[in-house]
Structure formats: structure tokens, C-alpha cells
Amino acid sequence: MIENRAKHTALIKAEAKRLGFMSCGISKAGFLEEEAPRLEQWLTNNMHGEMRYMENYFDKRLDPTKLVEGSKSVISLLLNYYPSEIQKEDSYKISKYAYGTDYHFVIKDKLKELLYYIQSEIGEVGGRAFVDSAPVLDKVWAVKSGLGWMGKHTNVLSKKTGSFYFIAELIIDLDLEYDTPVTDHCGSCTACIDACPTQAIVEPYKVDGSKCISYFTIELKEAIPESVKGSFDDWMFGCDVCQDVCPWNRFSKSHSEPLFDPNPKLLEYSKKDWEEITQEVFAEVFKKSAVKRTKYTGLLRNIQFLKE
């Protein structure tokens, strides 16, 4: 039985690598006891702002066995999205994760392939794939699986690759060999806290989501409050400041996923070009991008807010 676990674990990790995942770590599925009070306090303090969906499925968020019946293992996977080129200096900025095709589609396809491989090689294995689209605490599982530690900006950090990667999971009903967490290497560094334009990192390892530029430019559907005017550092969709200043991201290497390559206009456009963007150009540049979440009207609102 133990031999099988080792064999199955090795098979899964090798296939994850073949599919282009940067790293693969595995944890035992179960209740996240330490996370329960943290999540409860974060919600009570309204740090999720208008993101009311964060209040739903509290039990399932903390226990994957309630999400996937009979689940035994959480397979956490990282997929690099660090681009080889970034936008020009004189431009309104878009978070690097949204440069290319929406990651939900790219990763979901890879996860389905991985699950199909597990079923064809090992036998009848039940499970579900998750890409930031269900109540799963991805970052917590990535840390439990030894893929990195939780940085002070609450992104998962790895000594080898920094933090510019997506996190996804396969939750399956198969016992495997489990990885152990790595140690924290943030030390006394406060670069992310000091650099956050809206002081959203309220203390080490705690972000007030309702103060984050990503929240204002993506999640918030109504007008952006005047109180934060002048503090967006030209970000029109998302924000990478806390990651850009992190010393560990010196080790980021550009991805090798063609679907994450941006439309050339995204790299060429200046502020003036963005200010004049039409519905047609928006549809072309962001054809399959996560930027579509904010819609044309949302992006215009953000640009107008930066311009005034």
C-alpha cells in the first residue's frame, strides 16, 4: 500500500511537470483548523469589502472533504505567468497575470488532462479541479504542500521562483505521500508593506482586501472613492507593486506558455492610447483576457479615475 502511494505520487508529479506546471505539492485533505479563526476575523473586520461571495460556504472553504466527497489528497500546482516583456513606462498598467489568455481556461484544461492521466494510469479515482473559482483557500494549501511560504504581502513565495505564478488544485479521493511546509524567509524585510500605495498590507501577513488597488479596479462595481485618488500609481487593472518590490522576485524567470503572451498593443500603448480606447479595440486586445471581468465600461472608469 505504501509502495503504491510512493509510485502514484511520483507518477502525478512527473505528469504535472510534463504539463508545464512549475511545481507540484501534495497535502492530506482535512479541516484547516488554524485558518478558521483567521478567516472569521478577516470577514468580521469587513476586509473583503463588497466581495460578499467570500462570506459564502465558510465550512467548505475550510474543509475540502465537504467540497469533494471522500477526498483524501489536495494536489497543489503552480503555473508561472511572469512575462518576458512588460508594458512601456508611459502607460496605464495592467497586472502581469492578465497579459494573456484568462488563466482559468488555460489551467482548467491542464488540470483536466492531469485528472484524466491519473484515472487512466491508476484506475478509478474521483476528484475535482479548482482554479480560483470555488471556495478553496489555494494559498493555504500551497503552503501546506511545501510549495513556498506565505509572504508578508500574503502571496506565496518560493526561494527559487518568487511569487509570479497561479495556484490551482486537484482534490482527489486517493491517498498519496504528503509534503511538508517550508520555512519562512521574509526575515525583517518590509519592502512590500512600505511600498503598498494604499497601505492595504495593514500588518505583516494581513491584507485589507477592501483597500487594495486590485479590489478597487476589478471587484468594486460602483464609483471608486475620492479618498484614494492619487494613490493608484497608474494601475488601471490590478496591481503588482508588492510583488515587484519583493527581493525574492529577482529570481522570477519568464514563462513558456504561449497562451500567456499579450496582444502586442498591450505592450505598445501609451497613456494617450488607453484614454482613447474604443469598445472594438478593447474586445481585440482583451479577447480572452481576465481584463474582461471589469468590462469596457469598468476599464474606462478606472482610466478616468487615474486621469483626473
Give the residue numbers annotated as catalytic, written as ranges.
132
> Which residue from 269, 305, 262, 239 is spatially nearest to 100, judged by alpha carbons?
262
Q: Which grid cell sits at 124?
A: 478509478
DSSP 90: S
| Residues contacting residue 23 through CB under 8 Å, at least 6 positions apart | 77, 78, 147, 158, 161
| Residues contacting residue 6 through CB under 8 Å, at least 6 positions apart | 177
Contact 257, 20 (CB under 8 A): yes
Contact 137, 40 (CB under 8 A): no
> Which residue from 209, 183, 184, 177 is spatially nearest to 196, judged by alpha carbons?
209
Q: Would you put residue 132 in left (φ > 0), alpha (ψ -120 to 50) or beta?
A: left
Alpha carbon 166 to its chain centroid, in Å, reads: 5
Helices (H), the chain: 2-18, 35-44, 58-62, 64-67, 103-122, 138-144, 191-195, 213-214, 241-244, 264-268, 271-275, 279-285, 295-307
**73-80 and 23-28 strand pairing:** antiparallel
Residues in a beta bridge with 74:
27, 171
DSSP 199: -
DSSP-based three-state secondary structure for 238: coil
Other beta carbons less than 10 A from residue 116's beta carbon: 11
